[in-house]
Amino acid sequence: MVEQIVILDFGSQYTQVIARRIRECKVYCTIVRYDTPAAELAAMEPKGLILSGGPSSVYAGNAPLPDPGIFGLPVPILGICYGLQLIAQYLDGKVEAGQKREYGKSLLTVKDSCCELFRGLPDVLQVWNSHGDKLTRMPRGFKAVAVTENSDFAAIEHRGRKCFGLQFHPEVVHTPKGKEIIRNFVHRVCGCGRQWTMRRYRDQAVEQIRAQVGAERVILGLSGGVDSSVAAALLHEAVGDQLTCIFVNNGLLRAREAEIVQEVFGRNFRVKLQYEDASELFLKRLGRVTDPERKRKIIGRSFIEVFDAATRKAGQARFLAQGTLYPDIIESVPIAGNPAALIKSHHNVGGLPRRMKFELVEPLKCLFKDEVRELGLELGLPKEIVFRQPFPGPGLAVRILGEVTADRLEILRNADAIVVQEMKESGWYYKTWQSFAVLLPVRSVGVMGDERTYDYTIALRIVDSQDGMTADWVRVPYPLLEKISNRVINEVKGVNRVCFDVSSKPPATIEWE
């Protein structure tokens, strides 16, 4: 069993960030509900427990509380913010509403340099706080190892039982040395090695897939995106020709997208690839529809229909593989005021019809996105696929306002290809979340040579984001904008104007639709 740290989630919006920081230390970790019974936790044989932060007050009537048995488990515990207050509450300390809410940066002074958490770190550190409650009486057997201007108990420790509490958030970037604190906890205090690598994971996952699938057949819907591509490469390594990948061309793809998938998976990896060209069907069904929601519905329904027919054509398979990731399956804690609970299921695909009875194979379901990318490289997938920017399922249809026609698709594809090419050549493509062209079906007057033109406008959208939920436009250099604009106007017939979108999300969205 691979060594692991278990995080009890009390509803903090940063719980997943803690997990990622730990994985970056090459230590596996799992997030579980705050009320997971101590016996269940013990069975997971964790090397350490972390109690996350959370929006509640430990003394509130509806506060999420852990099984008290966890404090009796023979493993080190680290409580962060709300987690520290829980430690105090359970071990005979006292927590009260602070006079002043401590929010934002502050300076932490380490008072006890023997504390393993701060080993190798300077005595004064910048840390980031977000709490209203504060510890007013130390829990039994603990001592303060660091203080801030606002708190005499910013970091506490019970050395004998290896139990620690931090009032600040070591996981966020605003605590620049936070990663070292977490590293000290997992390696020095919990004694974890560096076992969690994608090389190991690859071998382990291949074995697990083989054990699950046996001699049966597996179907996978390949979109060309990062997740389904990595899942395909991994499954192919595990079960070879028992895997059939189905790639549906919905006619809303970008330039050369279908070719690239066929090249990489069909020719290089020699994956059994079933290519379904349904572009005409999609386009016909989209007809003169202009309403964005209706467009999405038509595309979603048609996809399921085409995919369903394709799976029947592919022959009987028992398994369906999906590139589900860890953040998709972490159960968010249903606590009032928990913003993390809102960050879910924005664009989840409707799901396949019931009669398609498959068992699921989800070989990426314990990985974060950056781990999936690392695994992709490990499996030999090209950088173009592994570091590809997100591309929406309904494709270019959400980037053509109004009717989707073959002519408009052609114009947008050509413009988009220039945007991608220039972004890559200037080195900005891999530094931004998304960069793409949008076709506005309004005509305006222009002049080209001696002639007046009356053509479409292309809007250029270049945004940065962590997860697509919020975003800001990227301040790319003017010469890059100039080059893209010149090329689009000169090379793409039907366009005489390029605009740059300077809206953030919210209130705007990333796609125009």
Q: Is 394 in the site for ligand XMP (CB under 6 A)?
A: yes
Q: Is the Cβ of residue 242 or residue 434 nearer to ligand XMP in the bound state?
A: 434
Q: Is 294 in the site for ligand XMP (CB under 6 A)?
A: no
What span, in angstroms and rounded, lies between the C-alpha atoms of 503 and 99? Answer: 38
Backbone angles phi, psi at 314, to 5 degrees: -70, -15
**Cβ atoms within 10 Å, residue 95:** 21
- Provide, rounded to whole angstroms, the least separation between the CB of residue 398 and ligand XMP: 6
- Provide, rounded to whole angstroms, the least separation between the CB of residue 327 and ligand XMP: 14
What span, in angstroms and rounded, lies between the C-alpha atoms of 415 and 492? Answer: 6
Q: Is 266 in the site for ligand XMP (CB under 6 A)?
A: no
Q: Which two tokens stand for residue 395?
A: 């494709």
- Provide, rounded to whole angstroms, the least separation between the CB of residue 349 and ligand XMP: 7
Q: Is the Cβ of residue 42 or residue 283 nearer to ligand XMP in the bound state?
A: 283
Q: Is the Cβ of residue 141 or residue 339 nearer to ligand XMP in the bound state?
A: 339
Q: How far apart are the first and last CA of the chain?
A: 47
- Provide, rounded to whole angstroms, the least separation between the CB of residue 393 and ligand XMP: 4
Q: Rg for the chain (alpha carbons), in Å?
A: 26
Binding mask 423-442 for ligand XMP (x = CB under 6 A): -----------x--------
What span, in angstroms and rounded, lies between the C-alpha atoms of 178 and 176? Answer: 6
Q: Is the Cβ of residue 24 or residue 513 nearer to ligand XMP in the bound state?
A: 513
Contacts of 408 (CB under 8 A, 6+ apart): 400, 439, 441, 456
Helix 226-239 crosses helix 369-378 at what angle (to 10 degrees)? Answer: 50
- Provide, rounded to whole angstroms, the least separation between the CB of residue 345 and ligand XMP: 11
| DSSP track, 127-166 | EEEEEEEEEEEPPTT-EEEEEETTEEEEEEEETTTTEEEE
- Provide, rounded to whole angstroms, the least separation between the CB of residue 187 and ligand XMP: 35
Contacts of 264 (CB under 8 A, 6+ apart): 229, 381, 382, 385
- Provide, rounded to whole angstroms, the least separation between the CB of residue 223 and ligand XMP: 8
Q: Is the Cβ of residue 44 or residue 349 nearer to ligand XMP in the bound state?
A: 349
Active site residues: 81, 169, 171
Q: Which residue has the tokens 């799901």?
A: 351
Q: Is the Cβ of residue 30 or residue 470 nearer to ligand XMP in the bound state?
A: 470
Nearest to 87 by CA among 17, 166, 5: 166
- Provide, rounded to whole angstroms, the least separation between the CB of residue 487 and ligand XMP: 23
Q: Is 511 in the site for ligand XMP (CB under 6 A)?
A: yes
What span, in angstroms and rounded, lies between the C-alpha atoms of 272 and 370? Answer: 27
Q: Which of 390, 402, 441, 494 binds ligand XMP (CB under 6 A)?
A: 390
Cα torsion 334, 13, 511, 262 to 10°: value is -90
- Provide, rounded to whole angstroms, the least separation between the CB of residue 364 and ligand XMP: 16
Select from 31-39, 112-120, 454-462, 503-511 the region that touches ligand XMP (CB under 6 A). 503-511
**What are the beta bridge partners of residue 272?**
244
What span, in angstroms and rounded, lies between the C-alpha atoms of 122 and 88? Answer: 27
Q: Is the Cβ of residue 82 or residue 391 nearer to ligand XMP in the bound state?
A: 391
Q: Is 510 in the site for ligand XMP (CB under 6 A)?
A: yes
Element holding 102 (H helix, E strand): strand 94-110
Q: Which of 154, 392, 411, 492 binds ligand XMP (CB under 6 A)?
A: 392
- Identity (one letter) of the amino acid at 119? R
What span, in angstroms and rounded, lies between the C-alpha atoms of 462 and 473? Answer: 6
- Burial state string for 11-24 with b = 16 or more CB within 10 A and e = fewer than 16: bbbbbbbbbbbbbe
Q: Is the Cβ of residue 165 or residue 394 nearer to ligand XMP in the bound state?
A: 394
Select from 286-294, 307-315, 387-395, 448-456 the region that touches ligand XMP (CB under 6 A). 387-395
Select from 39-47, 148-156, 385-393, 421-429 the region that touches ligand XMP (CB under 6 A). 385-393
- Are the C-beta atoms of 245 and 271 separated by less than 8 Å? yes
- Are the C-beta atoms of 234 and 212 separated by less than 8 Å? no
- Identity (one letter) of the amino acid at 201? Y
Q: Is the Cβ of residue 155 or residue 417 nearer to ligand XMP in the bound state?
A: 417
Q: Is the Cβ of residue 174 or residue 297 nearer to ligand XMP in the bound state?
A: 297
- Are the C-beta atoms of 299 and 250 separated by less than 8 Å? yes
Residue list 73-132, contact with ligand XMP (CB under 6 A): none
Q: Is 292 in the site for ligand XMP (CB under 6 A)?
A: no
- Identity (one letter) of the amino acid at 211? A
Q: Which of 201, 468, 485, 496 binds ligand XMP (CB under 6 A)?
A: 468
What span, in angstroms and rounded, lies between the C-alpha atoms of 147 and 154? Answer: 5
Compute how many residues bind ligand XMP; rule: CB under 6 A: 12
Q: Is 347 in the site for ligand XMP (CB under 6 A)?
A: yes
> Helix (H, G, I), strand (E, B), or coil: what is residue 144?
strand
Q: Is 444 in the site for ligand XMP (CB under 6 A)?
A: no
Select from 12-20, 95-103, 270-278, 386-394 the region that touches ligand XMP (CB under 6 A). 386-394
Q: Is 54 in the site for ligand XMP (CB under 6 A)?
A: no
Q: Is 393 in the site for ligand XMP (CB under 6 A)?
A: yes
- Provide, rounded to whole angstroms, the least separation between the CB of residue 165 and ligand XMP: 37
Fill in the DSSP letter of residue 400: B
**Residues engaged in binding ligand XMP (CB under 6 A):** 347, 390, 392-394, 398, 434, 468, 505, 509-511
